[in-house]
């Protein structure tokens, strides 16, 4: 089963990140490629593929992020400064066109770019930091603190009760869209505790068993989406109207209809690059299906 | 099965964090309790329990972290400034004495404290930030950026092949200790991809299926440990000597001996508050055992 933003198929070659001489050599390599970006967004060719250009060799090492190797080919992204600001419909239009491995490569780069822009100064002493490790960190020349890219774990889950699952609707969703409930995991809790807390906070649902299903990086700006199914102890819902404007229980037939966009579907399914879609497909298919296997990493 | 640093049993009452008037009321409540700390470390009573003292009411709202409610009782931690610096043996001596729910409460507070100390200044503009949301965030008065506590996902895993699992040894471990391999999940990868990458980088192991087992918050300073078992495609190991000084394959009898500290055990098991211990217990017990269920959160 396809999971959005996974399957980049690159060797991250992280051992090279600390080897500045070797990184400079790779950047000077005649085959080295630079990802073409417009702000944080990718430029796509007519086939919806990422556009790569030759590295001129004049780019300074510090202004590049080393993405890794594709075979022998070193891939870089420009360390541009900026702020993200695309509206959601545009991200969606972009992602509908992109190939899976390209979305994964760009997603990782995008997370790094946004992280750099928010970590120009040292949080401990306030000094200007500088990028190091091929763009996979920043260090403070004043106090010496090293800063590493941030990934925020988010739990996203279906509460299940009597053959139905709970879907919710946030005000910002497009008309008809319902999706799995979700929230940031906090310091001091496990995945299972975060799932139980979020379902209780947002919908008043008390859960028993929590089952992990799959995970996905989400580059807006840098979440790790952790998808679970939780057995609810009752189907009585108390909605937190600050989080959700509506929620309802739906059976497998209803989810299946939504996933194939049937005209009589009870809701509009989340897009296929979102793990809420993967989670719903998994639930409709039953528990036996194998999900989320890498197999590409080596 | 017990999992370290979980089961705090508090209602985090996160909706109250943004309600400054209500938080001030709670802090002024005659039953409000303040966690007694020495730097980032807990003070323990003769029974190994956390020490709580009455909130005097003179503490300023900004100098407190609102931990949540135990029943009706509001619990706070002091927002102390400082740096962590305990050697590993001391943490271990501390944790061996602590009750599970106390370790969970203290762990969450410790992660927040260390995060505050590293985020005094805004990473985007360099201005001094101030704590808000009852200590669950910092905001920048200059550029308006809001900063939230950081949790770093780490994958920790057993590669499995022919009824044996791979354990490794880092130079900093106490004599005889072997444990599961582990590494930080990076931007742009799923849990399953991170497991595959780390096993390949550290031990040259190519994996097929990856199975999630359990998770744990780890407060040194703020990781989310995500424990998995990965099917290796071969038992040939190529060690990255920068990460590990040794590794070996061990069968269920060997792991069982280590877990009960038998004199002839082939290695010293990781401590029971570490999820590597949970992972080994799970593997020895077979796949049927139910792990990691919350049930306390509501």
Same domain assignment for residues A266 and A171: yes
**What's the confidence (pLDDT) of residue A296?**
35
- Which of A133, A151, A139 is CA-nearest to residue A66? A133
**Residues A184, A267 within the same domain:** yes
**A positions 8-37 inside 8 Å of B (CB):** 8, 12, 14-15
Residue pLDDT, tens place only, B204-234 = 999 999 999 999 999 999 999 999 999 999 9
Q: What is the mean pLDDT of residues B165-184?
A: 97
d(CA B146, CA B104): 26
Domain holding B184, by residue range, is 152-285
Residue A2 domain-assigned (yes or no)? no
Residue B92 pLDDT: 83
The number of domains in chain B is 2
Give yes or no for A54 touching B (CB within 8 A): no
> Cβ distance A217 to A151 under 8 Å?
yes
> Which residue in B has a C-alpha nearest to residue A208's C-alpha?
B295
> Distance of CA B11 to CAs A234, B223, B294, B295, Å?
20, 21, 13, 13
Both B257 and B192 in a single domain?
yes
Altogether, the residues listed in chain A come to a count of: 298
- Say which of B112, B190, B201 has its CB closest to residue A6: B190
Q: Which of A113, A131, A166 is the last residue of a domain?
A: A113
Q: Are residues B27 and B84 in the same domain?
A: yes
- For residue B141, pLDDT over 50 is answered with yes
A200 shares its domain with A89: no
Residue B107 and residue B160 in one domain:
no
Q: State the pLDDT at residue A83.
A: 64
**pLDDT for the residue B288:** 41
Please, which residues 127-146 of chain B have a Cβ atom closer than 8 Å to chain A? 128, 136, 145
Which of B61, B96, B115 marks a domain boundary?
Answer: B115
Are residue B109 and residue B190 in the same domain, yes or no? no
pLDDT score for A59: 59
pLDDT cut 90: percent of chain B above it? 81
**What tens digit of pLDDT does each residue of A12-44 get?**
999 999 999 999 999 988 899 999 998 888 999
On whether residue A9 sits in a domain, the answer given is no
B177 assigned to some structural domain: yes
A174 lies in some domain: yes
B/e letters for A187-216, b = 16+ CB within 10 Å, e = fewer, are bbbbbbbbbbbbbbbbbebbbeebbbbbbb
pLDDT at A152: 98
Give pLDDT, residue B85.
57
Same domain (yes/no): A204, A281: yes
Q: What pairing do the DSSP bridges indicate for beta strands B146-147 and B137-139?
A: antiparallel
Same domain, residue pair B69 and B156: no
Q: Are A79 and A131 in contact (CB under 8 A)?
A: yes
Average confidence (pLDDT) over B272-280: 96
Check whether residue B23 and residue B98 sit in a common domain. yes
Q: What is the mean pLDDT of residues B282-294?
A: 63
Enumerate residues 228 to 267 of chain A having a beta carbon within 8 A of any beta carbon in chain B.
Answer: 240, 242
State the CATH number of the domain containing residue B193.
Answer: 3.90.79.10
In which band, very low, low, confident or very high, does the pLDDT at B19 lie, cut at 50, 70 and 90?
A: very high
Asked whether residue B297 carries a pLDDT value surpassing 50, the answer given is no
Whether pLDDT at A95 is above 50: yes
Rounded CA separation B49/A180 (Å): 39
DSSP symbol at A83:
-
Q: What number is the average pLDDT over the span A45-74?
A: 85
Domain assignment of residue A145, yes or no: no
A294 CB within 8 Å of a chain B CB: yes
Instruction: Give yes or no for residue B34 having a pLDDT over 80.
Output: yes
Contact indicator for A247, A169 with CB cutoff of 8 Å: yes
| Positive or negative: CA dihedral B184, B12, A165, A210 | positive
Average pLDDT taken over every residue of chain B:
91
The pLDDT of residue B2 is 79
Q: Say what the ipTM of the complex is.
A: 0.94
Answer whether residue A123 is part of any domain: no
Please check whether residues B197 and B242 belong to one and the same domain.
yes
Alpha-carbon span B132 to B147, nearest angstrom = 10
In-domain check, residue B126: no
Same domain, B171 and B276: yes
Confidence of residue A204 (pLDDT cuts 50, 70, 90): very high
In a domain, B292, yes or no: no
Is residue B291 predicted with pLDDT exceeding 80?
A: no
Q: Which of helix, strand or coil describes residue B91?
A: helix
Which residues are CB-contacts of A259 (< 8 A; sequence separation ≥ 6)? A269, A277, A280, A281, A284
**pLDDT surpasses 50 at A196:** yes
- Percentage with pLDDT > 90 across chain A: 81
Average pLDDT taken over every residue of chain A: 91
Q: In the structure encoding, which two tokens stand for residue A212, read together? A: 């992990």
What gap in Å lies between CA B30 and CA B48, rounded to an integer? 25
**Residue range A81-107: average pLDDT?**
79
pLDDT tens, residue by residue, A266-281: 999 999 999 999 999 9
């Amino acid at each position: 089963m396809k999971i959005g933003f996974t399957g980049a198929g690159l060797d991250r070659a992280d051992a090279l990140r600390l080897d500045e001489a070797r990184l400079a050599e790779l950047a000077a390599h005649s085959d080295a490629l630079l990802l073409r970006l417009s702000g944080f967004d990718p430029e796509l060719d007519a086939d919806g593929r990422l556009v790569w250009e030759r590295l001129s060799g004049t780019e300074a090492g510090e202004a590049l992020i080393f993405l890794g190797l594709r075979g022998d080919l070193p891939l870089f992204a420009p360390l541009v400064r900026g702020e993200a600001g695309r509206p959601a419909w545009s991200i969606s239009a972009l992602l509908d066109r992109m190939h899976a491995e390209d979305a994964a490569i760009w997603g990782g780069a995008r997370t790094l770019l946004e992280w750099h822009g928010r970590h120009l100064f040292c949080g401990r002493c306030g000094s200007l930091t500088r990028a190091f490790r091929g763009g996979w960190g920043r260090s403070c020349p004043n106090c010496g603190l090293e800063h590493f890219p941030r990934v925020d774990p988010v739990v996203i889950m279906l509460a299940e009760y009597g053959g139905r699952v709970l879907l919710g609707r946030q005000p910002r969703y497009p008309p008809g869209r319902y999706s799995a409930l979700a929230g940031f995991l906090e310091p001091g809790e496990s995945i299972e505790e975060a799932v139980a807390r979020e379902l209780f906070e947002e919908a008043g649902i008390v859960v028993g068993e929590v089952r992990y299903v799959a995970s996905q990086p989400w580059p807006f700006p840098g979440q790790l989406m952790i998808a679970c199914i939780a057995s609810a102890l009752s189907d009585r819902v108390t909605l937190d109207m600050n989080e959700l404007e509506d929620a309802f229980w739906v059976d497998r037939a209803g989810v299946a209809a939504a996933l194939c966009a049937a005209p009589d579907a009870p809701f509009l399914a989340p897009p296929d690059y979102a793990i809420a879609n993967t989670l719903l497909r998994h639930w409709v298919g039953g528990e036996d299906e194998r999900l989320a296997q890498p197999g590409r990493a080596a």
